[in-house]
Amino acid sequence: MDINYYAVVDFAGYSKIVDIIAPDGIEVEMPYEISYGTDMTLHLGKQILHGKELVGYVTFVKIA
């Protein structure tokens, strides 16, 4: 596979891209409450997350 273009995105860029692509947020199912290592608490169950919250989600939740 030839890769002609690529982009490097840090967590700040990830947050901004998510907010541009999905301005109304993205619905996720939280398998457990997360508060360790984040500036917020992500609660158990379905919720709508935006850029900064999704960074916490993808950093701490193992997606099977």
What interhelical angle do 11-21 and 51-60 show, nearest 10? 120
pLDDT tens digit sequence for 6-58: 888 788 888 898 899 999 999 988 888 877 766 778 888 998 999 888 887 88
Residue 39 lies in a domain: yes
Query: Which neighbouring-strand residues pair with 46?
Result: 29
Residue 17 lies in a domain: yes
Q: Are 49 and 26 in contact (CB under 8 A)?
A: yes
pLDDT tens digit sequence for 6-18: 888 788 888 898 8
For 48, the domain range is 11-60
Residue 6 lies in a domain: no
Q: Are 40 and 62 in contact (CB under 8 A)?
A: no
Residue 42 lies in a domain: yes
Residue 21 lies in a domain: yes
Question: How many domains does one find in the chain?
Answer: 1
